[in-house]
Amino acid sequence: MLEYISAPEAAKKWGISERRVQKLCEENRIPGVAKFSRLWLIPKDAEKPVDKRKREENRK
């Protein structure tokens, strides 16, 4: 059985805001997420997605 954590728990684990975690869930960027009512359930072993908002240093 999969174990899940909430968005606030994932935010603390990954060092980002709870809102950012919710946005990643909405964009289907975290595999295996489920929404139960207003609560996002994130697999406990899910890894933090790469932040596509940041530019690569070697791009100009």
Residue 28 has pLDDT above 80, yes or no: yes
pLDDT digits (tens, 9 = 90+) for 45-54: 999 988 777 7
In this structure, which amino acid lies at residue 5? I
* Model pLDDT, residue 58: 54
Residue 58, domain member (yes or no)? no
Query: How does residue 57 score in pLDDT terms, banded at 50, 70 and 90?
Result: low
- Report yes or no on whether pTM surpasses 0.85: no
* Model pLDDT, residue 53: 74
Which of 55, 54, 33 has its CA nearest to residue 44?
33
The half-sphere exposure of 36 on its side-chain side, counting CA atoms within 13 A, is 8
**The length of the chain, given as a count of residues:** 60
3: tokens are 């174990």
Residue 35, domain member (yes or no)? yes
As for how many domains the chain has, the answer is 1
Range of the domain at 17: 4-43
